[in-house]
């Protein structure tokens, strides 16, 4: 991950919504760096979906984050969905 990653956020979001989105991307980063629990990822993703309910908008935010960081949120979420309860998700 680059030293300066600008999280894809909207100026229309409330402070709480921005926090939820940033926390989701931080969990994605954690999965790449040292691993994150399936539950932590899914909880952060559900909060993210409350802020960004549209799949097309979600894809835009994921692509923008991937472009800046090299980390792919889609793969983190997919692996978490497929994992068993209590699993730790570690990305390469």
pLDDT 10s digits, 26-79: 999 999 999 999 999 999 999 999 999 999 999 999 999 999 999 999 999 999
Query: Per-residue pLDDT for 18 more than 70?
Result: yes
Report the C-alpha gap between 60 and 2 in whole angstroms: 19
User: How would you classify residue 86: left for phi > 0, otherwise alpha for psi between -120 and 50, otherwise beta?
Assistant: left
Query: Per-residue pLDDT for 2 more than 50?
Result: no
pTM over 0.95, yes/no? no
CATH class, range 15-85: mainly alpha
């Amino acid at each position: 991950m680059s030293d300066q990653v600008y999280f894809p956020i909207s100026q229309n979001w409330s402070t709480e919504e921005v926090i939820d989105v940033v926390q989701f991307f931080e969990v994605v980063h954690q999965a790449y760096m040292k691993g994150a629990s399936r539950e932590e990822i899914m909880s952060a993703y559900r909060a993210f979906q409350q802020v960004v309910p549209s799949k097309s908008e979600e894809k835009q935010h994921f692509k923008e984050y991937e472009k800046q960081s090299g980390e792919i949120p889609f793969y983190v979420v997919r692996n978490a969905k497929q994992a068993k309860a209590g699993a730790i998700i570690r990305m390469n």
